[in-house]
Amino acid sequence: MYLRPAGDHRVTAPIGVTRTPALIVDGRIARRDRNRIAVLDAVIALFAEGVLDPVPEEVATHSGLSVRSVYRYFDDRDALLRAAIDRNLERVRPLFLMHGIGEGAFDVRVEQFVTSRLRLYDAVVASFRAGCARGAVDNIIRDQVDFTRRALREQTEKHFAPELCNLAAPTRRARGAALDALSQFDTLDHYRLQRRFSPRETHALLVDAIGALLTPVPQPHKAQP
């Protein structure tokens, strides 16, 4: 018999005994899963390199697998891109969470929000760009992008609810929309790619802009008659 270290529960066969069909099938399933993940990670890597709509040949080269293998795991190109975007979003999901959302002093919450949003942006932006590009022709991917935007908007409104709730309805609606626009991935892309702001500059301008939007303006004191 094959001796295993304590705590090693891998299924093995005695020396000289042929593996059972079940073990062979399990091995094939494990290999298939590894290859499938390799394909998806190759697509995500291509997104990061600016290839937002990769063809299977490019994916095969990056994954070290054959083009035939790429097609084996996904019905078509759209299914491949959807799965890659889903995998990356699932991988960075913990970065979306903010502890104590809506709690604490305003200045502290602004800093927490900006730090969290930019960290999430850096982790997901390549897949987001790919989703925007492919969403023009794929309704499922477009729905994924729209869902992401809604989730970011809801998080923003919840985090700054104490300030927004103190505003009159028309002002609250206008400033809530401006706050949302400031912090969406599309706008962060504009800051970084079009305006050429560094990460530090982007952080500073967001802190400044959010403060300007939500800090109450002192009302002039009216003299008593």
pLDDT of residue 75: 79
Residue 218 has a pLDDT of: 53
Tallying the residues shown for the chain, one arrives at 225
pLDDT value at position 223?
A: 52
The predicted structure's pLDDT at residue 22 = 56
How high is the pLDDT of residue 88?
83
Q: Which residues of the chain have pLDDT under 50?
A: 1-15, 17, 219
The per-residue pLDDT for 87 is: 86
Joined together, the tokens standing for residue 43 give: 């697509």
- pLDDT, residue 12, reads 47
Proportion of the chain above pLDDT 70, given as a percent: 83
Give the tokens for residue 91: 């991988």
* Per-residue pLDDT at 14: 46
